[in-house]
Amino acid sequence: MIGTLSHETKVIVQGITGRMGRTHAALMRAYGTNIVGGTSTRADVPEAAGVPVFRDCAAAVAATGAVASVVMAPAMETLAGAREALDAGIKLIVTVAEGIPLHDAIAIGRAVRAIGATWIGGSTPGMAIPGEIKLGFLPDVCLRPGPLAIMSKSGTLSYEAGYRLAREGLGQSLWIGVGGDPVKGVRFADLLPIFFADARTAGIVLVGEVGGTEEEDCADAYAQLGAQKPLYALIAGREAKEGVSMGHAGALVFGDTGTIGSKTQRLRAAGARVFDTVDGLIASCARDFSDLST
């Protein structure tokens, strides 16, 4: 349901009475997201961030008709939160916590697939359709409606790319933070059919990082699907030292896969344009889509 989200989509925030939940529920509402309620184990708080608080997702969904949830829970509590949301009929869950235990993440993925729901996360800043809806904590200053879809494993680097594209008059049609955990709800390759089918999207920006095979898998899918829209890629971690632990839990290199060289080679072979710097990516997008800038 990613491509059909709008300012009318009813959203709840699980853990809304916590500091992060309350803060970001208010910020999402201020952006225009239709936050209709939240959940909390605290029975003494009937309201938070201007919306009612319910004892659980079942009560929240019954009262509000919510179809999406942002799970503001610690990593060790994310599985329970996701199961509660799915059992209540939620069709889209966004889990922001980093470091969800591996077996918990596998269980979330299995539960999501069983009912045909969508899971974004873990370790994600969220997603947005600029001008319509924001789920998570993407900075408003980076969001602007426009022709480029962004998918990213790196939160801060995608903020930089989004902000600088917006300054060029080029905003985003869709923005999905796939997250940096090794097991996650959506991967780059899963998003390509959505972006290709989206009439608002003229081009795709991929912000990846060293480690894992997600970029290589995306390159294969991009070629198999016929490279229907231009793909611009920036891979972070060129200076990552071998044997040094850094970045996300999913940033693992195995042999010749997961390296900057492997990702760059596979993406370019598939027809994507790969850049060494944010400057290069921004300049190319600005040049190619100058007729769509505002």
Tens-place pLDDT, residues 74-126: 999 999 999 999 999 999 999 999 999 999 999 999 999 999 999 999 999 99
pLDDT above 70 for 242 = no
Q: Per CATH, the architecture of 139-292 is what?
A: 3-Layer(aba) Sandwich (3.40)
DSSP state of 121: -
Which sequence positions are flagged as catalytic? 248
With beta carbons less than 8 A apart as the criterion, state whether 69 and 12 touch: yes
**Edge-to-edge strand list for the sheet holding 231-236:** 133-136, 126-129, 172-177, 145-152, 203-209, 231-236, 273-275
- Looking at residue 212, its pLDDT comes to 87
Torsion angle, alpha carbons of 284, 281, 189, 6, to 10: -80
With beta carbons less than 8 A apart as the criterion, state whether 70 and 126 touch: yes
- Looking at residue 239, its pLDDT comes to 47
Domain at 2-120, CATH homologous superfamily: NAD(P)-binding Rossmann-like Domain (3.40.50.720)
Q: Where do the CATH 3.40.50.261 domains begin and end in the chain?
A: 139-292
Tens-place pLDDT, residues 149-158: 999 998 889 9
Report the C-alpha gap between 209 and 212 in whole angstroms.
8
**Amino acid symbol at 121:** G
Instruction: Determine which helix (DSSP H) or strand (DSSP E) holds 78, and give its type and residue range.
Output: helix 78-87
More confident call, 196 vs 236: 196
With beta carbons less than 8 A apart as the criterion, state whether 196 and 229 touch: yes
Report the C-alpha gap between 20 and 60 in whole angstroms.
19
Q: Where do the CATH 3.40.50.720 domains begin and end in the chain?
A: 2-120
pTM: 0.92
Count CB-CB contacts under 10 A for residue 291. 7
- Looking at residue 107, its pLDDT comes to 98
pLDDT above 70 for 248 = no
